[in-house]
Amino acid sequence: MVYSVAVAGASGYVGGELLRLLAGHVEFDVRTVTAFRTAGRSVGSVHRHLRSGADLTLVDTTVAQLAGHDIVFLALPHGASGEIAAGLDSDALVIDCGADHRLRDEREWNTFYGGKFFAPWPYGLPEMVIGGSSDGRVQRDDLQGVKRIAVPGCNVTAVTLGIAPGLRAGVVQPDDLVAVLVVGTSGAGKNPASELFASEVLGSASAYAVGGIHRHIPEIHQNLTCAGGVRPTISFTPVIAPLSRGILATSTARLEPGVSKIDVRSAWEDAYANEPFVHVLPAGQFPRTGDVIGSNTALIGLAVDEAAQRVVTVTAIDNLIKGTAGAAIQSANVALGIEETTGLIVNGMAP
C-alpha cells in the first residue's frame, strides 16, 4: 500500500531531512509540502541538496492544504503545530516533530514554554523502556495503531536512551543525575541568530540554557519517571560546538549500593538487545558524533567510575535524524504496522 504524505514546515532543517528520508520510503509518497516565508518557491531552491521532489512547490501551511492526506508530518515551531493539528481529520496519522504534544503536565508547559497547552499524544520514542513491567515493555507497544504521535526533543532522546535502562533495572539512583551534551548548530533551526554565525562558532564552544532552564528538562523528567525513576532530578547542560549536526551526551548517575559492573552492563545490553537502531558498544569503546551522522542510529558507550561510584554513558545521535525526522518516520512505521526500519539508515557517514 502507498500512503499519501504531506510535510508541513518542509523548508526547515527537519523538514528537509523528512523529505530526504521519505524519498527512499517505498510506502510513503510525498504529495504536498508547506512553508511560511518560503511558500511559492520550489523544494530544490530551498534545499539544494535534494534532487528527489525538487520540483515540488511549497504552499502555505494551512489545514486546507494538509487535509486529505493519509499521513501528515508537522515540522513546525512550538505553538504552531497544535492549532494546525486540531483541524486535521481524526483518521489521518499526524506526527508532530515539535513540542506541542509532548508534555503531560500543563504547569510544566507554562513554566518552560508558555502559550496554549495541548493534550499530550503517544510518545514517539519506540525504544524507550518502561518501568514497573515484568515483560520488558517499551514505548513501541503504545504506538501500534495510533493516529497521533509526538516526537521527542533531540536532546531528550540522547539523555533518555543513555540513562533510562539503569533506572528500569534499579542499578542507578534517580536523584543527582547529570547530563552534559555537545550539540550541533542545526538543532537551533534555520532562523538567523548571531551566536550561530560561523565566526562565532568555529574554533569555540559555549554552554547555553545553563542552570535548569532548558525547555527539554521537563520532558526528560517525564521520560525518566516513566522508566521507573522516582522523582528524578537532573542537572542538564547543553554546549554548542562547531558541528553542523550531531549530539554527544555524557550522562552520569550514582550506583545503587552493591551493584556490580556486570549488573550495569546487563541492564543496558538487555534493554537494547533486539533494537535495530540503538546499540551498546563493547566495554572500553565510546561513540563519536561522526559515527552516526546521516543515520537513525544511537550508539551508547558505557563505563563505571568506581572511585566516584557512578555510571557514565556516552550517547551519540544525529539530532536531525534519530533526534527528530528519523524518529518520526520510525514511529509512523510502527503505528501503521510497516517494517520499522523501512526508509531508514543504520550506517553513519564518517569520515
Q: What is the pLDDT of residues 42-82, one digit of tens each?
A: 999 999 999 999 999 999 999 999 999 999 999 999 899 99
pLDDT computed for residue 192 by the predictor: 65
pLDDT computed for residue 336 by the predictor: 98
Superfamily of domain 3-152+322-336: NAD(P)-binding Rossmann-like Domain (3.40.50.720)
Q: Which residue has the cell 509540502?
A: 33
pLDDT computed for residue 350 by the predictor: 76
Q: Is residue 226 among the annotated active site residues?
A: no
Question: Is 22 within 8 Å of 343 (Cβ atoms)?
Answer: yes
Question: Is 126 within 8 Å of 157 (Cβ atoms)?
Answer: no
CATH architecture of the domain with residue range 155-319: 2-Layer Sandwich (3.30)
Model pTM? 0.96
pLDDT computed for residue 134 by the predictor: 65
Give the Å distances, CA to CA, from 169 to 50, 71, 225, 286.
43, 36, 13, 22
Annotated catalytic residue, options 154, 247, 321, 335: 154
Coil/strand/helix, residue 303: strand
pLDDT computed for residue 131 by the predictor: 94
Local mean pLDDT, 10-residue blocks, the chain (351 residues):
97 97 98 96 96 96 97 94 96 97 97 96 98 85 98 98 97 97 87 75 91 96 96 96 96 97 97 97 97 98 97 98 98 98 94 77
Domain boundaries, the chain: 3-152+322-336, 155-319
For the record, the C-alpha cell of 192 comes out as 538567523
DSSP conformation class of 258: T
Q: Which residue has the cell 544511537?
A: 298
Give the Å distances, CA to CA, from 299 to 148, 198, 258, 273, 293.
28, 28, 27, 13, 11
Distance CA 191, CA 205 (A): 20
DSSP conformation class of 171: -
* Extended strands (E) in 40-176: 58-60, 71-74, 93-96, 148-150
DSSP conformation class of 41: S
Q: Which residues contact 272 (CB under 8 A, 6 or more apart)?
A: 127, 165, 278, 279, 280, 300
